[in-house]
Structure 1
């Protein structure tokens, strides 16, 4: 049986976790804290993929630990330091954390609870020790997690890939309109859908890595492209369903060919809307169909023009990127 193993690699998050654990334990040792190795555990639990998640994790774990200390005082000091009491405490503790939406802090608070149980004497010095231990562990995690590598270049690459795919899709549509057939497999269409999902997820991660930022220009850009892709998916069946090639087919093909050569992130779609208005005028000026199949073809092509108008309006409404390119994009 062949195992499909992932390549061995050490990522930046792994490096930050290792560094954070070492720093937290070192500080805890310098402060001569009891259970100082637990500072490393608390740090591990708070290293998250993004800054905002790390802050939420630290807050959730700190509050959960404080609640755990209160429970320890009630159950251990009020009843007994006994394994059965720990079991009862946890049975009642977990539902409270879930109710308060601090369930992510259960593991870290359990570390503190077990310290208190092991000491069997909940006095001021122990409480101070645990509070400092939490501050060292959670604080170190937040400090090392403040560094996040820039993903701007990767987002820009996704943008260019998507634009190239859209251009390729339009070129294939042009081939079909002019020749009435195509060997295109539709690969770019499926790849564009997958890439948009990845790109949006990465753009959202970038939002999570900025404390005061609540949106991302790339995220809105990919959302806009996603809306456009839905329109492309709607016009493809109309193109492939054309019963015959009519004079109006060349008008639409010429327009789409021009559009395919200018797919970029600039926002001058109004120029192509003007060109599309000209296509409509030329469309209306051509002779009326002399049989039913030509009428159906003209009707489908007019629907394509209408959909492309919506496609361009979506781009025109988007204000995220500004470029100095002279040619108008879709």
Structure 2
């Protein structure tokens, strides 16, 4: 059961109240706007919160500049406000600060209502934005660690993959597909999606140092998942048992046993090449059916090789960066 009141909700409520109190203590008008800005600026990650806050500060300065010029020349009317939006919105797209459109325009309405672009009101709106966005940034400095949950996802992902490979070895020997495999593939897909979402959230909680490892890990496992799905299709066409089948089944079990986060897959790839060479020197197929099945078996081995190469490349890239 999910919590009804999460950390972000508490941050939003506390931050909004603090922003309003600070704005009121400074004698600012429309102090509640600072609270609203805080509500809109509290995000799920540190990086997102800072990015949005900076965009809104930039857009506010731009909005006050454009609206101030228009109000000074043409007066304080709804039509002029509309003209302001026609100019302001395209510029936010150009400068990539569109997240500030709504909040900045709300602050501009204060000038419209008060019919003034005096230093007092310009300063008032700028301070409202700085207080609201600033409180959101301060509150988002603390983010709960989620590495533990990501590692749980990693363990589950590897466990599902291990079970799938063991089933594939049994499928090769028994020339049939396990019913349980469908559930394993579904569970693996769901865990990969959850792990990937957490990995990106974890990445965005680092401002200076980037934690890309978990994102790269999830991308690697997702690619392997797609390869496993492709490998599974071959079992529909396996209907004869050969000496090579047992060799491939045994190797598939070995891959399952050695599937882990830290395995470089290099030894497995060497072993696979030996198996492929052994298959090549055996007697040629004696029938069309045997030829087709051995071709599918060889393709299955190619897929396993790709599966292992993906892991090898992942470890190699990490070592190269380190």
- TM over 0.5, yes or no? yes
CA drift of 1:215 comes to 4.9
Would you identify which runs of 4 or more consecutive aligned residues in structure 1 move more than 6 Å? none
Moved more, 270-279 or 62-71: 270-279
Distance 1:8 1:190 in 2: 26
Q: Which stretch of the first structure deviates more once superposed, 135-144 or 7-16?
A: 7-16
Aligned pairs for 1:113-128 within 5 A: 113-128=108-123
Task: Give runs of aligned pairs for residues 84-95 of structure 1, distance below 5 A.
Answer: 84-95=79-90
Q: Of 266, 277, 290, which aligns to 1:270?
A: 266
Q: Which stretch shows the higher mean deviation, 154-163 or 266-275?
A: 266-275
User: Are 1:96 and 2:91 matched, yes or no?
Assistant: yes
Q: TM-score, normalised by structure 1?
A: 0.88
Q: 1:163-312 to 2 correspondence within 5 Å?
A: 163-184=158-179, 185-312=181-308
**d(CA) in 1 for partners of 2:218 and 2:82?**
50
Contact 2:161 2:256 in 1 (8 A): yes
1:66 corresponds to 2:67: no
Q: Does 1:317 align with 2:308?
A: no
User: How far off is 1:8 after superposition?
Assistant: 6.1
For residue 78 of structure 2, the aligned residue among 83, 86, 94 is 83
**Greater alpha carbon shift after TM alignment, 190-199 vs 202-211:** 190-199
Identify, as 1 or 2, the structure richer in helix. 2
Q: Matched residue pairs, number? A: 317
Residues 160, 75 of structure 1: CA spacing in aligned structure 2 closer, same or farther, 3 A cutoff? same
Q: Helix, strand or coil: the match of 1:242?
A: coil
Counterpart-to-counterpart distance in 1, 2:86 and 2:264: 62
Shift of 1:217: 0.7
Instruction: Check the 8 A contact 2:47/2:205 in 1, yes or no.
Output: yes
Q: Secondary structure at the match of 1:318?
A: helix
**TM-score of the pair, normalised by structure 2:** 0.90
CA deviations over 1:207-263 (Å, ceiling 9, x no partner): 111112345111111111122222222222223312311111111111111222232
Contact 2:16 2:35 in 1 (8 A): yes
Cα deviation, residue 272, structure 1: 1.3
Distance 2:30 2:287 in 1: 88
Q: Report the Cα distance in structure 2 between the residues aligned to 1:54 and 1:33, rounded to whole angstroms.
A: 24
Contact map agreement 2:176 2:235 (CA 8 A) in 1: no
Alignment check: 8 A CA contact 1:267 1:321 kept: no
1: distance between equivalents of 2:33 and 2:240? 75
Whether the 8 Å contact between 2:245 and 2:297 is mirrored in structure 1 is: yes
Partner of 2:132: 137
Aligned to 1:106: 101
**In the TM superposition, what whole-angstrom CA distance separates every residue of 1:104-144 from its partner, at most 9, and x where no partner exists?**
11111122112212222222222222222221111111111
- Does the CA contact (< 8 Å) of 2:177 and 2:235 recur in 1? no
Aligned mates of 2:273, 2:96 — CA distance in 1? 55
Determine helix, strand or coil for the equivalent of 1:122.
coil
Which residue of the partner structure matches residue 328 of structure 1? none
CA distance 1:8–1:215, shift in 2 (3 Å): closer
* Residue 49 (1) aligns with residue 44 (2): yes
